[in-house]
Structure 1
């Protein structure tokens, strides 16, 4: 089981941090640039440019290095922050992304969208495009978001629970086939032993987090932090009493949610309601 990394004192500038982590992981493995290049079948000079911050490569490069070093999602998260518009990611979100890659457990409530780790390609593309991205930047953002799912795969993945408000499941995509694929993916991912998917139906009535998208990260050492967000801003919450209040609201809401088995059946019924594309 790969050891989850702790926050370090290295650079908080995303591009430089990416380069530092790539170099640090290679040095800790005890191999030279040329030896690593031989192991991966890459050009050693390209790896050298990554370590010097002269290039960022592609999301596929970050994913391949994560797989090689047994750090699922860490380098990809840093790559995503490094290539993004720096005005788009405040310091708190940068810190959240690093903590997400280190978490041993995650609890999520989605009031308006599926968590990024569970988004299918078509769903992610429509959501990111709705935020104003297009062209090559849209493609990069989609690949980076899809790569976050690697955190839930492989050896020793974190435990992940998501509770989705029924409104999330009622918001159809323009591309009906992509929407079918998203619903199918939610059913499939719920079969993973480390993932739990639940639905909070409209019939549950009012609940404490009715306007709050929140993710709790359980970290090594037993500490828990929370990240709340809406369409305009996000906030990383680390103060214990504030996190505890959010957790109490989350626990009360979980009591109102359908069981995992009932949620699977609920999503399956919704899938039956989505019209099939007659061209397929």
Structure 2
């Protein structure tokens, strides 16, 4: 008869579980935060915030900790679970987030902002701050949104098509350096085999999604659902007829948009027009 597993009593919430493991590993190693900072090459205050659950840190620092403690890939795995945890998002988004993580094909139209899956941290921070987030809550939401980018990475990443209104690319961030970084990230993303980016020019005129950002998800059971949102609310659309109506509008717009190669040239022109440094 196999031996029963011992219940550890450790937290089952991904973010708390990650912080708990960090504290445990440092305690077992018998080092102070200052010692850890000296040996691992990162600031002690960052490690303190990570162990207290105030921040998750980035993948580079977590990889460094895995190497330092000899736990690879444990800490990176826990970090990935924490940043992808739908509980980090507001209640209205949680159902959608769970479906997004399971989808095997995704396509999006952005009339006002870039899709979350293609946002840099700087872009996400400004958008989320406009939505009312501040301080620690803002930091957590930026980390959570950054974690969503993992959906499009790796050998098994699903195909993703982003149809972006020209107005989105002509609405820069306040910080010119952050905006340039965002445009460069779009170019880098457009080179990946699973990502297609198309720009819909303003000269295309009015269309069926003129005031709506929408993401389509094709699920493993073959069903397609949509998540439509404006500046004030979002709605998960699952009824077949409604999804089909949104899909027809999307397809009509895609036919009007620049092809991927032309879209890349358009983003390059935007970069050439933008100043290189941060705004003053």
Indicate whether 1:89 and 2:91 are aligned.
Answer: yes
Partner residue in 2 for 1:76? 83
Q: State yes or no: 1:251 paired with 2:260.
A: no
Measure how far apart 1:73 and its partner are: 6.4
State which structure, 1 or 2, has the greater radius of gyration over its C-alpha atoms: 2
Cα distance in structure 1, aligned partners of 2:171 and 2:82:
32
Q: Following the alignment from structure 1 to structure 2, what is the Cα–Cα distance between the partners of residues 278 and 248?
A: 41
- Residues 120-150 of structure 1 show CA distances to partners (whole Å, capped at 9, x for unaligned) of 1211111111112222222111111111111
Structure 2: which 5+ residue stretches go unaligned? Answer: 1-10, 29-51, 63-72
| Displaced runs of 4 or more, over 3 A | 16-19, 40-46, 55-69, 72-75
The alpha-carbon deviation at position 208 of structure 1 amounts to: 1.0
What's the offset of the Cα at 1:155? Answer: 2.6
5 Å-filtered alignment, 1:176-187, equals 176-187=176-187
Q: Is the 1:165–1:200 contact (alpha carbons within 8 Å) kept by the matching residues of 2?
A: yes
* Superposed displacement of residue 41, structure 1: 10
The CA distance in 1 between the partners of 2:55 and 2:103, in whole Å, is 24
In the alignment, the residues of structure 2 paired with residue 223 and residue 73 of structure 1 have an alpha-carbon distance, to the nearest angstrom, of: 27
Q: Taking structure 2 as the reference length, what is the TM-score of the superposition?
A: 0.73
Q: Secondary structure at the match of 1:197?
A: strand
- Structure 1's unaligned 5+ residue stretches are 1-15, 23-36, 47-54
Check whether the contact 1:66–1:76 (CA below 8 A) recurs between aligned residues.
Answer: no
Q: What CA RMSD, in Å, does the superposition of the two structures yield over aligned residues?
A: 3.2
Matched position secondary structure for 1:109: strand
C-alpha contact (below 8 Å) 2:208/2:249 kept by paired residues: yes
Separation of aligned partners in 2, 1:169 and 1:188: 16
Q: Deviations over 1:39-73 (max 9, x none)?
A: x9964999xxxxxxxx978545999769638xx96
8 Å CA contact 1:73–1:151 kept in 2: the answer is: no
CA deviation after TM superposition for structure 1 residue 278, in Å: 8.1
Instruction: Quote the Cα distance in structure 1 between the aligned partners of 2:183 and 2:234.
Output: 26
Cα contact 1:128–1:138 (8 A) shared by 2: yes
How far does residue 82 in structure 1 lie from its aligned partner after superposition? 2.7
- Which string of whole-angstrom CA distances, capped at 9 and with x for unpartnered residues, describes residues 66-117 of structure 1? 9638xx9665332xx4345xxx432xx2110100111111100000001111
Measure how far apart 1:193 and its partner are: 0.4
The corresponding residue for 1:5 is none
- Indicate the residue corresponding to 1:27 in structure 2: none
**Deviation, structure 1 residue 17:** 8.2
Q: Given the two structures, how large is their TM-score scaled by the length of structure 1?
A: 0.73
Instruction: Give the aligned length.
Output: 231
Query: Could you say what secondary structure the match of 1:227 adopts?
Result: strand
